[in-house]
Amino acid sequence: MKIWRQAPSIIQLQVLIWAAVLFANFFSMLPMDGWPKSVIYTAVNTIVYAIIIYGNILVLYPVFYQKQRFAWYVATVALCLVAVGVLRGYTTIALYQYFSLIEIRPVTFGRLLGYVPGGILIYIMSLVFRVAIAYFTLKQQTEEIMLQKSQAELNLLKSQVQPHFLFNVLNNIYYRVYKGDPMSAGLIERLSDIMRYFVDESPKDEVPVATEVAFIENYMELEKIRIRHGATINFEKAYNPELRIPPMLLMTFVENIFKHGIDKSQKQNEVTISLVQQNGYLLFKTSNRKNDSPAAHQSGGFGIANLTKRLKMLYGQEFELDIDDRGDLYTASLKIPTR
């Protein structure tokens, strides 16, 4: 059995780095100062390092440098190094005098400035530290993306296995039903074709128009069995069957017809659909009578809005989408370029 070892996080890496800094400081001072003084001096130095490093990474760099305020960045870095250096110098001298039992004497500002150059080195290290954090963050994000991709591929394989099992079952049911009820067997076959379209065709970037039309016709035949008095659908088709378009691009209009434009209580439901290729464009148009029932709102839902967003992503401004709900008819038309 393979055991996965998770890579350390950014926080864990920083903890390890600071632990190494603490130990290096402590053991470098231990021979001369003993462990009590070494602990205190190590704490002071580490705090100073952290103020310079994280002050630059979290505050100065993003606030000034990334916003291209370079003069302010240089000025604030210099001010920070001087302030931290003076504070470190005063603290170090005070602690030394305390441990040496020497009376604290006034400390000159020039003497305190002698601790500033050490902060410059730490500032340079903060830039390296920032690059390291950015690198490991990017590396971790890349690993997470790869893991998600692997999981998506696994899910895709699973999704392909399960529907094909259903296809086989539907085919077996089809052959059993065919002898006794050919009409029902035909509906089962259409349902199988729709499922196969969802699995095999819809994930593609483009499909032949003939494949898309076959899917729409199967969908309409299955929807018609839910209508008590049926529906008359006139579908005009004139296009190159090999012309390719994005899948599921025309379905929003057809779905709206059956969701909002069919009155199941009426005996006459007429629908006109045309799909015509001409002058470098593909024209798709649907027309149906409005359903006067309160539950039906032809313009409701998010279907048209989502379709419009998708069309803009696919064609930019090279498409025309028109909705006309004036009068007794609801008409929708789409014009897209052929490629």
Where residue 176 falls among pLDDT bands split at 50, 70, 90?
confident
Residues 283-298 have pLDDT tens digits of 999 998 877 654 444 4
Residues 195-235 have pLDDT tens digits of 888 878 888 889 999 999 999 999 888 888 877 767 788 99
Residues 17-65 have pLDDT tens digits of 788 877 887 777 777 777 777 788 888 888 888 888 888 888 888 888 8
Tell whether the model's pLDDT for residue 6 goes beyond 50. Answer: no
**Residue 192: is it exposed, middle or buried by C-beta count within 10 angstroms (0-12/13-18/19+)?**
buried
**Which residue segments constitute the domains of the chain, with CATH numbers given?**
10-149 (no CATH), 228-337 (3.30.565.10)
pLDDT at position 236 is 94
| Angle between the N-to-C axes of helices 251-260 and 303-315, in degrees from 0 to 180, rounded to the nearest 10 | 170
When the pLDDT of each residue in the chain is averaged and rounded to a whole number, the result is: 79
Mean pLDDT within 110-134: 76
Tell whether the model's pLDDT for residue 301 goes beyond 70. Answer: no
- Pick the range with the lowest mean pLDDT from 42-51, 178-187, 297-306: 297-306
User: With contact defined as beta carbons under 8 Å apart, do 320 and 279 qualify?
Assistant: no
| Nearest by Cα to 322 from 294, 291, 287 | 287
Transcribe 197-266 into DSSP letters.
IIIIITTSS-EEHHHHHHHHHHHHHHHHTTSTT--EEEEEEES-TT-EE-TTSSHHHHHHHHHHS--TT-
Handedness of CA 163, 164, 170, 173 (dihedral sign): negative
